[in-house]
Structure 1
């Protein structure tokens, strides 16, 4: 079953309206993407072109990059193509948009490209980033329902755990069980999509005992249910992988591939700008765009917004291969060579941009 478009996780801004607006934007963007302009084919082993045809449009669901580029002024360096920003991020939303022909690229964790491939939606990864202090500043913690005692991973035995197979949170649950020496039969996995406040509400209502929570959702949960005994624990497991990816057909279009080449260069510069201007970015993105407090925004900068762009991908790919192997074993998916998911022509583009940033 295809996932339905949903608002971005953690946003507190008019959730009901965003559901409608996102659905409408996907439809509208799909219409924008269909024109009579012939596509200039680009072979997978051909060098990335520099020239972009007039009228080329990149449709991107990378909200933090949109804010960083606009706030820093780097958006003014876009030449020869146009960016249409979509209020889309995360695996379920981006995959639905890819299938609708409505989006060229998005930002996700390491799991969505695997599930896209396993569900017959070919994709390519063209940039990666990771947290410089992954264990000290994890993306996710395990939220624990009020009245439930979980002090370490061994205490997961016998618990009801929220589980989203196609998302990073689902992989984290499997990794936590593996680390604790537990099998799926030792717990009760309650399948829920981690969207909006689903996990927060499931914990608060005792539908589940444990659920992976990150960013604004963790903050929201502890603020709302902490007084009643809601807690969280860290897993001690790396959960920091982040990639930019898009439908494989985008990389077979010479003009879009060339535009992405330039965008990646700007994305690297924008990531560095965020590191150099944390307060300004926190105000623009977390406060004005996400509706959080400045204090919460600064705290979140230590995790998801503070990842380092990686210019050499071998170690990153090796870790993702371990994740793919785990999911193949625990969820019954075909074995997958994750190297086939990467367009490594962009690896050098990233490396060059890092050298010049």
Structure 2
């Protein structure tokens, strides 16, 4: 299968530039003096800036952009999160014993820092630099900031970002390395677009991406067997959504009717709570992610047996869901999609058909229909081990 790389790359570049212009304009209108200091920086792709214009924020905007300034100012007002941590993008994390407090960070000549509360110095327990996926500008979040707090508004759940990072960073790097090795164009897309990955643990919320915090992806580790292949799936899924937001910036262009119409309006399946656009958004991560799975399955020689089986099982389950979505949308596409939308959908449909046809015998032989949201490798092995030899 030959993927439509240039088609989507053009959309990504055009949409990303348009989103940046939108946030530049919004920022300049509201913070004109500060804007002049940031004009030549990448600050307007910072996810917290996007959050600042889509949801009530709890921290000063200066805290969001301080790390983009050169030279650093001598002091800045900040607000700590519920753990007493102050995150300043591009700079790092300041750990204090002052949760949910208005503080002041003073920056000394030698780039050392002091924390003050009402002009009284408080203890800086530690300072930790940001952690990035190897060879990228994609940060792995250490502690809650404005980009994730909005999704947990009651602030009572411990979502364990720091421990999630510690147990996952090696696997996340390995998964990105697999993508870069086998599909370098997709690694370039990720590094061009993504700014932060949040690894959290919650029984309330699945992994997700959100247009309210562009360039971010949120990966839930709850009940997951953390592995290289798990992160390969989550990167291609959740980051795939984040990539598609700028690609589909002109959402109205895709449809001939209200894209917030529930899919159940057409299918009659009352439990299907997706709307037209959310159902459509599922196709790009499937199209590109399943292609990546297919290439790695063909060419990666260094997978251990469990990784190979997990790759096959997750790929088969993804293809099962991909097919269900394609056939459902195909049935109603004339009532839903514009000619432009049909053109894009045809790419997604053809991608499914080619990937399925290539491994039809394998996919048809596997028993994966009792898999649920959290993929169960042991269940897959118990039913399919002999079929994957």
Q: TM-score, with normalisation over the residues of structure 1? A: 0.29
- Which structure carries more relative contact order (alpha carbon 8 Å, separation 6+)? 1
Greater share of helix: 2
